[in-house]
Amino acid sequence: MTTENLVLIEVAINEAVTREQHRFVPVTPEACAADAIASVRGGASFAHWHAPDLEAYAAAWKTMRAADLIAYPSYPSDPPDDTDARLGHCFTLVERDGLEMVPLDLGTAHTILWDGERLGGGGTLANPLPFLTKAAKRYRASGAIPNLASFDLGHTRLAVQLARAGILATPLLLKIYLSDTWLVGPKPSREALDLHLAQLPQGLEVHWLVVPFLIHERSTFETVCRHALERGGGFRVGIGDNPGLFPDARNVDLVESVQSWIETSGRRVATTHDVRRLLRPMKVRGGGR
């Protein structure tokens, strides 16, 4: 695990949130790009956004790249074994448009929902090993940075084994999801985060952040984020993750609101330059960044 005095702050600008769920969520490529730029300039290290197709992703990324941001897209869950169908837009954005960071969910998660009183539907994030292996190897060949998502303890353990097997290049960039609403992984708490961190062996270079996802109480959100700071990691904020917690805030407001936590910790936010240096990304074709 890493010991640098830098904090990775990711901003999740929209996820699957609609305007009906949050009045400030960006939807169009222009709005997504503007929101990501404002959030990074407000103190985030990089951004994550969702779009419906390659054209929408490319339009937003063109503006983000011109502003010298690091940002990465999402990808669909189906079909589970078809790497090209699920990640084709990511490969294209890397090879054609200089995308530096790319998504990869570790393992399969059954996202049954719990609202505090009732069980709901949910779905399955299917990421079988053949899919993960093929995606990771192609990402590695391209020089892009995989942004790895762990939804359960086994996913964190899998990240370690994929690195040891040489399928994932180190250092790793690992997101640890803790959710009240998804019944997957341990309930959000300091102890839950520590369980994940205990799976990361000494000597493996990992830059990690916690994602408090669909959290019921602001106090839980703050507790988990502050504990991540104490343990040497970072965290993610954003309307996309917690629209109900912050109904009147824009993403840049959320980014700016956590700066005092970071200052109190005695650390500083990793800049775009820091992220590139720490995670050794590719040289962008035609840009040399």
pLDDT, mean of residues 236-255: 98
Give the pLDDT band (50/70/90) at residue 222: very high
Task: Return the CATH number at 151.
Answer: 3.20.20.70
280 pLDDT tier (thresholds 50, 70, 90): confident
Specify the pLDDT at position 281: 46
Report yes or no on 127 lying in a domain. yes
Average pLDDT estimate for 91-106: 98
Whether residue 181 lies inside any domain: the answer is: yes
CB 186 within 8 A of CB 142: no
- C-alpha distances in angstroms, 258 versus 8, 39, 176, 251? 12, 12, 19, 11
User: Could you count the other beta carbons within 10 Å of the beta carbon of residue 233?
Assistant: 23
Q: What is the pLDDT of residue 217?
A: 97
pLDDT tens digits, 64-95: 999 999 999 999 999 999 999 999 999 999 99
Residue 63 buriedness (CB in 10 A; 0-12 / 13-18 / 19+): middle
Residue 95, C-beta contacts closer than 8 angstroms, at least 6 positions apart: 142, 285
Distance (Å, rounded) from C-alpha 213 to C-alpha 215?
A: 5
User: Is the pLDDT confidence value at 27 over 80?
Assistant: yes
Residue length of the chain: 289
Can you give the residue range of the structural domain that contains 150?
Answer: 6-279
Whether residue 288 lies inside any domain: the answer is no
- pLDDT band (50, 70, 90) for residue 1: low
> What percent of the chain is helix, strand and coil (3-state, nearest 5)?
40, 20, 45
- pTM comes to 0.95
Report if residue 269 sits inside a domain: yes
The number of distinct structural domains making up the chain is 1
Q: What is the per-residue pLDDT for 287?
A: 37
Cβ pair 279, 70 in contact under 8 A: no
For the chain, the average pLDDT equals 94
Structure tokens at 78: 């189906």
Does 285 score more than 80 pLDDT? no
For residue 201, is the peptide bond before it cis, meaning its omega torsion is within 30 degrees of 0?
no
